[in-house]
């Protein structure tokens, strides 16, 4: 559902998402170091959970952006049913 004449994600939002992804990337790198250092399973699993949460946080920001820009534009353009279906598809993919 293209938005004509607008950026899909504002520069501020992109910066916020990048910060969250950088955090997740650091956590994944930490997991690799933990594995190399033969750290206890529980510690590794805690770090995996932290990385997953960092990715979920980035996803929440993107969902909000999607709702505020793409979904709102689709509804205003008279494509409510198509827009709702696309939005639900995105949500279902995120919660799997």
| pLDDT digit string (tens) for the chain, length 96 residues | 444 445 588 899 999 999 999 999 999 999 999 999 999 999 999 999 999 999 999 999 999 999 998 899 889 999 999 999 999 999 999 888
Instruction: Please check whether residue 74 is in contact with residue 82, taking contact to mean a CB–CB distance below 8 angstroms.
Output: yes
Q: How far apart are CA 42 and CA 49, in angstroms?
A: 11
Instruction: Please check whether residue 1 is in contact with residue 83, taking contact to mean a CB–CB distance below 8 angstroms.
Output: yes
Q: Whole-structure pTM over 0.85, yes or no? A: no
Which domains does the chain carry? 11-95 (1.20.58.1000)
Q: How far apart are CA 82 and CA 86, in angstroms?
A: 6
């Amino acid at each position: 559902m293209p938005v004509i004449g607008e950026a899909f994600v504002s520069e501020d939002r992109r910066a916020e998402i990048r910060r969250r992804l950088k955090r997740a990337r650091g956590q994944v790198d930490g997991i690799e170091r933990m594995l190399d250092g033969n750290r206890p399973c529980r510690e590794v699993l805690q770090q995996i959970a932290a990385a997953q949460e960092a990715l979920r946080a980035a996803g929440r920001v993107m969902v909000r952006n999607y709702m505020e820009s793409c979904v709102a534009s689709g509804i205003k353009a008279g494509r409510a049913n198509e827009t709702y279906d696309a939005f639900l598809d995105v949500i279902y993919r995120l919660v799997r």
